[in-house]
Structure 1
């Protein structure tokens, strides 16, 4: 019986090639999108899920509340918290501490071999490996990190530092790590590398007890409860039955005990637990975190595309059900049961969906190539994994039931006598099929219109913010990062070398770029009458050439600073500090960093961060040892690629053991809107698919419904109807459907866009004209498809159509 069902289903598909093609193409697109998103989501949620007792592991985060300035979560914690947490808070089975090194230089003193800089080195205490146990190839996990100047390395590091050695042979070998100072550490353990997906990228673990002198503790900021650095991270493993909420509550008396309250009696700092499962969706060590909002958006888009494809199927099948009425009538007359008819149609549906699934797998590889820059770097689809095999088997069955059950019931419910006479509608009676088809069409068109509106408005806003003046000159400015805590003399040597090049206009040293994601904030005390008023400000560490290199406007005073007791400020600072003009601010002294500093210059306001944020009061200070970037302004009409290569060559002459990598400042600025561009491009692709699927459905539906009205068209032609009248008659219904779809689409589109646009300090007004253009565009596409079918139908000779009447 089942074999017979498949045979009949195959013949039906062969007989209706257009219908089968529309179904398979539409469904395969929807399934391909869903399959790819399914694997991206599974990949994202797979990180660090292999650790034992993972549900009891949490990272402690810090939340700083600046009042009107907003709240800022930080994955770091103050150093003293890690010291006392197990004594002060009950219910903690274990604690583990990390202090990550940024761009640490690794060398082998025995051979003077330098391995370059890496972010894969961290300080760690013994508790870390108790929370996150590893396979030990050599060494004692209980004692390996107890003593200062000890280091545990991974198997990959062992092969890199000591090629050809066995794990037991490298114990006792000495490695040098250069951070703020040189650390000579002996290898006390070798661990196996993780093979699973993890955000813990570290391969070298230096004992945290190495940081033991008061000078070192203060340098790393581990001495003060108010010092919060994302490098200092704290993990805890809760005891059985202990809830994270109880730990969060226990932090409150700890804060009262060790921190000072604000003037209003509230505490600016609080601590909270973050589940290990959430770490991948927050800034992490590997900088590969995924936005959960973006991930949910992908899921939502995938479901919409699949729903549109499913609606196509249901819509077209219910419309074409009348053409199969005689088949149903004959089968019922010769003894076919309703169950057999439903089974037959579901098998036919399954055959379509199964074919679509096979085609979808081919589409997936194409989608991976198109969106390779949007996918995780290590992303790969394991087609024969258990989860994907379940997808292949369960998903087609579920989709068969969802898409096929209603058309199957419609077909199997036909009355044999009426079906054989071709009387499938009753005059004056409400038709569920017609009502459903119209509403499904409205849903499809609404989705298409909404997608078009979203993409056009996102593009409009992004074009607007990227074309706004920034307040500085970003063109032909290149930058490179300097080694951490580099010798100031070497930095000046590099600056001089660049200034000697004919292609270079000017060079500056700074702690950050003119515009970047970096944000250093502080408090200054501005004299007001006989008292001081505190002002929250942004700080940038720059040299005397910074203003000139970046083309920042000078409003008053000098444009350069080279002393630690002198500062420059921006116009926003002048306004909020209460000065009547930039000239009045020159020479004024304010309290900053526990000393009095003098304002020697005022610059114009510029956007040091993205257009989402308003310009902050800004202070330029000079602190040479903490410069982290070199900024080079090139002369005009330079070959940028050749200039970049030359700058990197000079860099290596001063820092031979570093990696020379120059980037363009305007590229850094473009990264501000990288997430928005991703959203826009993904929505654009979804928009194209939604339109394609809707057009396929509209093409199939209109071709069928117009074919059903061929006799009506012929009679109207015989009675003198013109081509324009016939086309208008057939298109009128679809124009009404597009109008209703437009009214439905504008509300969700407006809601999303209004919320998104409010996230920008500089934004366009809601462009309602774009809404109208999107509706007119879909109307034009709809009329084109219906018009073509109407024209073809109207050209048929009435004599051939009416000869049987």
Structure 2
């Protein structure tokens, strides 16, 4: 019986080639997108899910409030890691990890400098008790017990000591330099993780090494009021202890060490290990869970559109198979057998589409490499993928094929054999009603996608044309080692200024506009009134204004004096003053140093355009200003200049591998996620339109073919071709009109949410709504019109000869 089902199914598929091609093309596109998204989601959720008792491992994070702003940070104060298990019960193990990023590595034995490397982590033995490793040599209990000890991953050990076996590497010395020098002895070698992990570091240095540094003040090892994202704390909870128990104990702990006044603006949370990959991990780029969820929804929408196509076309063509149903039922076929027959036909189509989807998936993967996670691999024959494809095919068969199969199986044999087209008497046909509504749903999605793509594109175009308040053209920058001696920086600046094509060189802690910022508070006395305001800070020198073409509206430049500062117009407004001249000479204390406002610069966007322009104070603190900014003369060959400047930097810093970057390119990357959103949605809208048009092509082809006799009669009675075209197209115009109204509401909601993320944005471009509707309507009328025109060309005598 089953063999017979599939044999008949195959014959029907071959008999209706156009219908089959439309089904297979639409379903294969939907399956390929869902399959690729499934693998991306599985890849993202696979990170660090293999650790023993992973459900009991949490990371302690910090949320602090300043004014009316809240800031989340994955780091904790250094002392918290020392006392957490003493003050809070239910902790089985703790591990304090401090990131030692961009560390210079030197092998004293061979006097070889390996340059700056990422992957060094300051930890204790407890780190390996929470996150176990397979040890090649050495013992976990003793490896990091003493200061100046280091455990290497097996691959890194081979890089550092390429010609030595693991046993002989033990006891070798490695020097790490990152503002501080740590000379460490190798005490163990571990296997790297084979699974995906954000904790797969290469050099594990004993954290007690910080205790023996000549000056460890920058680590704030005794301060509860200072923390950094580099200092993170992992905790393994005892069995039966919940993260909520940990969080409930933190307020009392904060009160104990910081006092009542800090309890309100400092909070700590227990973040599950499973969330590590979706937040700021230890130096790794976090995955965006919102984007992942959006991709899942996007894939489902495309797949639903393909399923609607299938249902729409199958129910429309069901009447052509009514006599087949009548004969089968007359010969004893049951409703269940007929339903199984048509489900078998659907399953064959789905299986063919699934096989073809592999080609589309590979094409999608190759063109979207830049959007996929790093180290993403696609294995079609992995167990999870095979289970997904098989299960997905069966589910898709039921979703897409069950209703058409039930429609066909429910035909009354007497009516079917007479060729009646309605299963019930009366003018209402549920099948026609359903097909119209499914068509509306399809084109609603298509129009909504097109509108949202145009809105996002308009906002991005607005951002690219927005005046930033500074000149970002022909400005390059490079980062010197942090806390570098001023003498070497001065040498680099002097050599750069000797080049005729360089108009100016400045030094700062950040670019003129960046996504990173520092927030602080200052007290100012204005007209005998003491005012406390929150400010954004930036460290610059006096050349910064000219290099970035900032405009001074009052006062003078700071002249590289520690007690001089520049402010922006937003700070003037924050103080309730109208004239910038009124703030000149005002004094305040910052970091124990009295400062005086010497000048006011015109407002510029120190942050991206999602943020409003905040009060800004610019200080002269060269020791905390590692960025070198260079302005080129007009007409300079930028590529040649950059090459020469890179060589100059290499001459001053021979062990560094950094290169000069362009400010305008960096500013453009502020909106990289939005550009990705536009491209992904543009691709999705194209697919949605393609699938909807495929369905409309098949449906209109069939429905117009059913009306050829009506068209013939109308032509005999004197109707013109134009009148016939209007008659047939009128129904589809109504459907697209309904789709446009529904799509406009959906697109308005999501577009508003997107635009509201920007402080500087366009108004809602309603003209683009109309343009999108007209675009889809034009495509629809073109498809329907071609079919209708073809039908009007038939000879009425040939069409009506059997009447």
TM-score, length of structure 1 as denominator length? 0.98
Q: Which residue matches 1:233?
A: 232
- 408-417 or 242-251, larger mean C-alpha shift: 408-417
Q: Which residue matches 1:57?
A: 57
1:633-652 alpha-carbon deviations (Å, 9 max, x no partner): 11122222222211111110
Equivalent residues in 2 for 1:388-399 (5 A)?
Answer: 388-399=385-396
What is the Cα deviation at residue 214 of structure 1? 8.9
Alpha-carbon contact 1:545-1:560 (below 8 Å) kept: no
Q: Which residue matches 2:177?
A: 178
- 385-394 or 704-713, larger mean C-alpha shift: 385-394
Alignment partner of 2:434 out of 406, 431, 436: 436
Equivalent residues in 2 for 1:272-351 (5 A)?
Answer: 272-351=269-348
1:264-299 alpha-carbon deviations (Å, 9 max, x no partner): x86110000101110111122343311111110000
Alpha-carbon contact 2:558-2:564 (below 8 Å) kept: no
Alpha-carbon contact 1:566-1:600 (below 8 Å) kept: yes
2:460 is the alignment partner of 1:466: no
Alpha-carbon contact 2:251-2:263 (below 8 Å) kept: no
Q: Which residue matches 1:246?
A: 245
Q: Which residue matches 1:756?
A: 754
**Alpha-carbon separation, structure 1, partners of 2:747 and 2:336:** 43
Equivalent residues in 2 for 1:675-694 (5 A)?
Answer: 675-694=673-692
**Alpha-carbon separation, structure 2, partners of 1:37 and 1:18:** 29
Q: Which residue matches 2:15?
A: 15
Alpha-carbon contact 1:342-1:412 (below 8 Å) kept: yes
- 724-733 or 686-695, larger mean C-alpha shift: 724-733
Residue 667 of structure 1: SS of its match in structure 2?
A: helix
What is the Cα deviation at residue 531 of structure 1? 5.9
Q: Which residue matches 2:656?
A: 658
Equivalent residues in 2 for 1:206-221 (5 A)?
Answer: 206-212=205-211, 216-221=215-220
1:170-196 alpha-carbon deviations (Å, 9 max, x no partner): 111111111122111111111111111
Q: Which residue matches 1:111?
A: 110
2:396 is the alignment partner of 1:413: no
Residue 143 of structure 2: SS of its match in structure 1?
A: coil
Query: Unaligned 5+ residue runs, structure 2?
Result: none
Q: Which residue matches 2:627?
A: 629
Alpha-carbon contact 1:561-1:567 (below 8 Å) kept: no
Alpha-carbon contact 2:230-2:282 (below 8 Å) kept: no
What is the Cα deviation at residue 560 of structure 1? 4.1
Alpha-carbon contact 2:67-2:534 (below 8 Å) kept: no
What is the Cα deviation at residue 558 of structure 1? 2.3
What is the Cα deviation at residue 529 of structure 1? 4.5
**Alpha-carbon separation, structure 2, partners of 1:257 and 1:748:** 51
2:371 is the alignment partner of 1:378: no
**Alpha-carbon separation, structure 1, partners of 2:665 and 2:626:** 18
What is the Cα deviation at residue 587 of structure 1? 2.4
Alpha-carbon contact 1:288-1:376 (below 8 Å) kept: no
Residue 224 of structure 1: SS of its match in structure 2?
A: coil
Residue 64 of structure 2: SS of its match in structure 1?
A: strand
**Alpha-carbon separation, structure 2, partners of 1:260 and 1:98:** 26
Query: Unaligned 5+ residue runs, structure 1?
Result: none
What is the Cα deviation at residue 480 of structure 1? 1.2
Alpha-carbon contact 1:586-1:600 (below 8 Å) kept: yes
Q: Which residue matches 1:92?
A: 91
Alpha-carbon contact 2:60-2:75 (below 8 Å) kept: yes
- 265-274 or 85-94, larger mean C-alpha shift: 265-274
What is the Cα deviation at residue 244 of structure 1? 0.5
- 423-432 or 351-360, larger mean C-alpha shift: 423-432
**Alpha-carbon separation, structure 1, partners of 2:699 and 2:47:** 45
State the 4+ residue runs in structure 1 displaced beyond 3 angstroms.
Answer: 213-217, 528-532, 577-580
**Alpha-carbon separation, structure 2, partners of 1:524 and 1:553:** 24
Alpha-carbon contact 1:103-1:484 (below 8 Å) kept: no
Aligned residues: 802
What is the Cα deviation at residue 44 of structure 1? 0.2
1:287-342 alpha-carbon deviations (Å, 9 max, x no partner): 33111111100000000000000000000000000011111112222222222211
Residue 172 of structure 1: SS of its match in structure 2?
A: coil
Q: Which residue matches 1:786?
A: 784
Q: Which residue matches 2:359?
A: 362
C-alpha distance 33-473 of structure 1, shift in aligned 2 (>3 A) = same
Q: Which residue matches 1:82?
A: 81
1:437-485 alpha-carbon deviations (Å, 9 max, x no partner): 1111111011111111110111111111221100000001111111122
TM-score, length of structure 2 as denominator length? 0.98
- 317-326 or 563-572, larger mean C-alpha shift: 563-572
Residue 703 of structure 1: SS of its match in structure 2?
A: helix
**Alpha-carbon separation, structure 2, partners of 1:214 and 1:590:** 35
Alpha-carbon contact 1:554-1:602 (below 8 Å) kept: yes
What is the Cα deviation at residue 588 of structure 1? 2.2
Residue 373 of structure 1: SS of its match in structure 2?
A: helix
1:203-235 alpha-carbon deviations (Å, 9 max, x no partner): 111111111169744311222111020011000
Alpha-carbon contact 1:105-1:117 (below 8 Å) kept: yes
Alpha-carbon contact 2:59-2:233 (below 8 Å) kept: yes
Alpha-carbon contact 2:192-2:200 (below 8 Å) kept: no
- 266-275 or 419-428, larger mean C-alpha shift: 419-428
Residue 187 of structure 2: SS of its match in structure 1?
A: strand
Q: Which residue matches 2:597?
A: 599
**Alpha-carbon separation, structure 2, partners of 1:529 and 1:706:** 82
CA RMSD of aligned residues (A): 1.4
What is the Cα deviation at residue 343 of structure 1? 1.4
**Alpha-carbon separation, structure 1, partners of 2:110 and 2:580:** 58
Q: Which residue matches 2:532?
A: 534
**Alpha-carbon separation, structure 1, partners of 2:530 and 2:494:** 41
**Alpha-carbon separation, structure 1, partners of 2:144 and 2:528:** 55
Residue 514 of structure 1: SS of its match in structure 2?
A: coil
**Alpha-carbon separation, structure 2, partners of 1:488 and 1:369:** 47
Alignment partner of 1:454 out of 446, 452, 456: 452
Residue 610 of structure 1: SS of its match in structure 2?
A: coil
- 169-178 or 419-428, larger mean C-alpha shift: 419-428
What is the Cα deviation at residue 33 of structure 1? 0.3
1:749-774 alpha-carbon deviations (Å, 9 max, x no partner): 11111111111100111112211221
Alpha-carbon contact 2:147-2:212 (below 8 Å) kept: no
**Alpha-carbon separation, structure 1, partners of 2:404 and 2:143:** 68
1:105-148 alpha-carbon deviations (Å, 9 max, x no partner): 11112222111112211211221111111111111211211211
Residue 142 of structure 1: SS of its match in structure 2?
A: helix
Q: Which residue matches 1:187?
A: 186
**Alpha-carbon separation, structure 2, partners of 1:67 and 1:311:** 52
**Alpha-carbon separation, structure 2, partners of 1:346 and 1:276:** 44
Q: Which residue matches 1:400?
A: 397
What is the Cα deviation at residue 427 of structure 1? 4.8
What is the Cα deviation at residue 586 of structure 1? 2.3
Alpha-carbon contact 2:523-2:533 (below 8 Å) kept: yes
**Alpha-carbon separation, structure 1, partners of 2:78 and 2:425:** 81
Alpha-carbon contact 1:567-1:601 (below 8 Å) kept: yes
**Alpha-carbon separation, structure 2, partners of 1:663 and 1:796:** 67
**Alpha-carbon separation, structure 2, partners of 1:695 and 1:580:** 60
**Alpha-carbon separation, structure 2, partners of 1:689 and 1:439:** 20
**Alpha-carbon separation, structure 2, partners of 1:369 and 1:601:** 53
- 55-64 or 776-785, larger mean C-alpha shift: 776-785
What is the Cα deviation at residue 518 of structure 1? 1.6
Residue 143 of structure 1: SS of its match in structure 2?
A: helix
Q: Which residue matches 1:739?
A: 737
- 40-49 or 632-641, larger mean C-alpha shift: 632-641
Q: Which residue matches 1:36?
A: 36
**Alpha-carbon separation, structure 2, partners of 1:531 and 1:450:** 54
